[in-house]
Structure 1
Amino acid sequence: MKEDFLHYIWQHQYYHKAALATTAGEPLQVLRVGFYNTDAGPDFQEALLRIGEVEWSGSVEVHLKASDWHRHQHQHDPTYDQVVLHVVWEADAPVRRMDGTLVPVLSLQGRVDLSLGHTYQRLLQAKSAVPCAAFWPTVPEVTKALMLERALVERLEAKGQEVLQTFRSYSNDWEQTAYHTLLRGFGFKTNQQGFEQLAKALPLPVVRRHQHNLPQLEALLFGQAGFLDESADIYKAQLQKEYAFLRHKYTLQPVPRPIWKFLRMRPANFPTVRLAQLAAVLHGQQAFFSKLLAADTVKQFEMLFKAPVSAYWRQHYHFGKSAKALQQGIGKSSVHNLIINVAAPLLTAYGLYTDDRAYIEKAIALLGQLREGSNKITRLYEELGWQAKSAADNQAALGLYKHYCAPVNCLRCAIGHKIMKQNSSAA
């Protein structure tokens, strides 16, 4: 048995309550279970209990064994002096607060329906990537839909919090934050780290001074990325000359060349091609973040990330290496990837910062209008009969898997909760 199972039992009161009493024999009535605490301190706070004839307001601590109180050194922590009930499976030792007073104990051993424990063990020991796969058909569709919606919001808000960390590192400058997020997004999955380092190595104020001049912009991007160190052709020589001047002018230091990855990638995804596409997007693009906030339609968001690359990069995928077919710029699927991983997190972050849910709802609605190909994670749920209809569905499935299925966090999942409830007479 795991302690989080007892947390679950207490939180939902899934135990037999007949003749409920403490281990000292005092009648116990639970008036309010308390709020589950995920931070330091007692497990449940602001609980309300009646022990004997007295009402107690305070915290509830949960352990498998009462002796865990001493093992965790709670007897020396004043935070635990507010505990009014110690909920345990096995009451193997008395526990006291710092002032020596005994903490009332409730033992759940013998009060929990065995079927509930068996269901939990089946989920814990499931060999499938989705622990509840065997139970999935028994869960109402509305429960699955609501949980996936919750997983989507949680995933978006987690991404929004990451953006807010960047925002704070740039002294609360949204345009700087959007620039950093944009570059990180252009790294897609394989070269994300390289583009993120490039965002730090090439400050937005420098980019702004040269946004009107595409060759200078390419010189800055390719030079700071470390791709202008060797000769290749006339165009590269021109960029080298331009970069040498700009590097000296702004005292720039390029990122290490080995950070970039080309192995097992299609030429269209090479970091050199992505840098050319990024240069095209940044060229003449003023107030990117303001435009992002103002965009309403999918087409308006697409236009933020679409621009024709320079003549050289229409015919090359690397310096000195010609492309077999002309390439005008970034493809539609890549644009949608940027909307998912740049636009939606930025909108969510702004909504969290301003406490305006309208921006988060806007991000959700935007994802609902995009198509996104399936992946190995979404296919796990498709095999169970679920079908993704939009990028919002895909992102929801990714959030569900990462935060609930992979860590077997079934007790915090509405789907897992429904399964547990369906398999317990106490529930």
Structure 2
Amino acid sequence: MKEDFLHYIWQHQYYRKADLATTEGEPLQVLRTGYYNTDAGPDFREAILKIGDVEWSGSVEIHLRASDWRRHQHQTDLKYDQVILHVVWQADETIRRTDGTIIPVLELKDRVDTSLVYTYRQLQEARTTIPCANVWPAVPEITKTMMLGRALTERLEQKGQEVLQLHANYNHDWEATAYHVLFKGFGFKINQEPMERLASALPTAILRKQQQLFQLEALLFGQAGYLADAATDYAQQLAKEYNFMSHKYSLQDTAMQRHHWNFMRMRPANFPTVRLAQLAAVLANRQSFFTAILEAQTIKQYEALFMVPVSEFWQQHFTFSPEPGKATKTMGKDSAHNLIINVAVPLLAAYSHFTVDRAYLEKAIELLEKVKEALNKITRLYEELGWKATSAADNQAALSLYQNYCQPVNCLQCAVGNKILKQNILSRS
């Protein structure tokens, strides 16, 4: 058993309240459980209790054993002098404040329904990847739908917070922030890290000054390290342009090398050289990429932000090799949808939080609902339980549910887990 189970019991008051009393025999009445504290100090603050004939206001601390108070050194911490009740599973010791006064104790081990304890332990000790897999079908659909909706919102908030941290790092410049997120997105997992390095090696102020696709390609490929030993005529033209601009803007010291990029185990259409050519086309097509993200309305408009024709050379090549290949003019729709999920949606979520305007978050969710996303090994786990993903919104919700609740066995904070515990579904199955 873990302390979070006792937090859950106390917060929801899932224990027998008849003849409620402290271990000293004083009658106890809970008028307010208090607010769960995620910071340092007692577990629940601003609780209101009636012990005997006296009404108390203060904090509640929760432990598995009363002696944990001493093990955690609370007896020397002034923050815990405000505790008015010590809630424990087993009262194995009398505990005191720093001034030596005894703290009232509520022991729960004989007051909690054994079926609730059994259900909790079954979830905690489950050998399945999804702890509640065996009873998932018995949980009402509305509960699962509500929890997945909450999980999706939490994932967008998390992604938004990551963008807001970048926003702070870029001196609150939204366009610079959007460029960094765009570069990372064009890494498509395998090359995310080098793409982020390239974003840092190419100041946004320099990129903003370039209007021509040729100049942008020269900057991107030069800083990425692809022009050092240019072999084709086109690469040599880019190298000449890059050498001029790298001296003009003092870029030599931050230039990357070709070995920083990954080509292994990927189709030619996904090569980083192709992605850089596509990125250059996107940058050349929009003076203000962030504004375009905010102003686009339809899924077609968002697709158009990324599905931009590349230069003539890259319509026939995958690398700077002299031999042409069967390349394409623009990226595919699946790749564009990937960028909508990993670039547009996080930027909208971040801006929603920044402006306190939920309309941008709702736009992000609407985009995810209209975009298809391939299943992965995590979302397939839920499909095997009978739940079917129909959009990127479903996929993202399932990922969030797994990472934040199922994998860490955080059932007590999950609406599905709460329903199972409250109805003792496991004990009846």
TM range (shorter): over 0.9
| Shift in alpha-carbon separation, 1:113–1:256, aligned structure 2, 3 A | farther
Which runs of at least 4 in structure 1 moved beyond 2 Å after TM superposition?
A: 255-259, 321-324
> 281-290 or 137-146: which moved more?
281-290
Deviation, 1:7, is 1.1
| Shift in alpha-carbon separation, 1:321–1:80, aligned structure 2, 3 A | farther
Instruction: Please name the residue that 1:254 is paired with.
Output: 255
- Partners in 2 of 1:229 and 1:424 — Cα distance? 65
- Partners in 1 of 2:380 and 2:168 — Cα distance? 37
- Partners in 2 of 1:84 and 1:362 — Cα distance? 47
Query: Per-residue CA shift, 1:133-157, capped at 9, x if unaligned?
Result: 0010110000000000000000000
Give the conservation status (yes or no) of the 8 Å contact 1:113–1:424: no
- Partners in 1 of 2:359 and 2:332 — Cα distance? 29
Give the conservation status (yes or no) of the 8 Å contact 2:135–2:425: no
- Partners in 2 of 1:6 and 1:50 — Cα distance? 20
Letter in 2 for 1:261: N
Query: Per-residue CA shift, 1:4-29, capped at 9, x if unaligned?
Result: 11111111111111111111111111
Where do 1:305-320 residues align within 5 Å? Answer: 305-320=306-321
| Shift in alpha-carbon separation, 1:92–1:257, aligned structure 2, 3 A | farther
Instruction: Please name the residue that 2:399 is paired with.
Output: 398
| Shift in alpha-carbon separation, 1:323–1:141, aligned structure 2, 3 A | farther
| Shift in alpha-carbon separation, 1:321–1:39, aligned structure 2, 3 A | farther
Instruction: Please name the residue that 1:245 is paired with.
Output: 244
- Partners in 2 of 1:84 and 1:256 — Cα distance? 63
Give the conservation status (yes or no) of the 8 Å contact 1:22–1:28: yes
Instruction: Please name the residue that 1:184 is paired with.
Output: 184
The reply to whether residue 329 of structure 1 matches residue 315 of structure 2 is: no
Unaligned runs of 5+ in 1: none
- Partners in 2 of 1:138 and 1:184 — Cα distance? 41
Give the conservation status (yes or no) of the 8 Å contact 2:318–2:325: no
Give the conservation status (yes or no) of the 8 Å contact 1:198–1:255: yes
Where do 1:292-303 residues align within 5 Å? Answer: 292-303=293-304
| Shift in alpha-carbon separation, 1:324–1:387, aligned structure 2, 3 A | same
Provide the aligned C-alpha RMSD in A. 1.5
- Partners in 2 of 1:216 and 1:230 — Cα distance? 18
The reply to whether residue 366 of structure 1 matches residue 400 of structure 2 is: no
The reply to whether residue 80 of structure 1 matches residue 80 of structure 2 is: yes
Instruction: Please name the residue that 2:69 is paired with.
Output: 69
Instruction: Please name the residue that 1:354 is paired with.
Output: 355
- Partners in 1 of 2:196 and 2:403 — Cα distance? 23
Instruction: Please name the residue that 1:95 is paired with.
Output: 95
Deviation, 1:194, is 0.9
TM-score (norm 2): 0.96
The reply to whether residue 217 of structure 1 matches residue 216 of structure 2 is: yes
The reply to whether residue 11 of structure 1 matches residue 11 of structure 2 is: yes
- Partners in 1 of 2:67 and 2:36 — Cα distance? 22
SS at match of 2:378: helix
> 248-257 or 325-334: which moved more?
248-257
- Partners in 2 of 1:2 and 1:388 — Cα distance? 33
Deviation, 1:76, is 2.0
Instruction: Please name the residue that 1:168 is paired with.
Output: 168
Letter in 1 for 2:118: H
SS at match of 1:283: helix
> 41-50 or 160-169: which moved more?
41-50
Query: Per-residue CA shift, 1:266-287, capped at 9, x if unaligned?
Result: 1111111110100000014111
> 414-423 or 121-130: which moved more?
121-130
- Partners in 2 of 1:263 and 1:96 — Cα distance? 63
Letter in 1 for 2:419: K
> 197-206 or 51-60: which moved more?
51-60
- Partners in 1 of 2:418 and 2:47 — Cα distance? 22
SS at match of 1:85: strand
Instruction: Please name the residue that 1:141 is paired with.
Output: 141
Letter in 2 for 1:222: F
Deviation, 1:299, is 1.1
SS at match of 2:50: strand
Give the conservation status (yes or no) of the 8 Å contact 1:116–1:423: yes
Deviation, 1:308, is 0.3
- Partners in 1 of 2:304 and 2:84 — Cα distance? 59
- Partners in 2 of 1:314 and 1:62 — Cα distance? 65
Q: What is the total number of aligned residue pairs between the two structures? A: 425
Give the conservation status (yes or no) of the 8 Å contact 1:42–1:60: yes
Query: Per-residue CA shift, 1:359-409, capped at 9, x if unaligned?
Result: 111111111111112111111000010011111111100110110011111
Where do 1:41-60 residues align within 5 Å? Answer: 41-60=41-60
Give the conservation status (yes or no) of the 8 Å contact 1:298–1:369: yes
Unaligned runs of 5+ in 2: none
Give the conservation status (yes or no) of the 8 Å contact 1:219–1:242: yes
- Partners in 2 of 1:424 and 1:37 — Cα distance? 30
Instruction: Please name the residue that 2:193 is paired with.
Output: 193
Instruction: Please name the residue that 1:417 is paired with.
Output: 418
- Partners in 1 of 2:232 and 2:193 — Cα distance? 28
SS at match of 1:153: helix
Instruction: Please name the residue that 2:380 is paired with.
Output: 379
The reply to whether residue 340 of structure 1 matches residue 341 of structure 2 is: yes
Give the conservation status (yes or no) of the 8 Å contact 1:116–1:424: no
Deviation, 1:257, is 3.4
Where do 1:278-297 residues align within 5 Å? Answer: 278-297=279-298
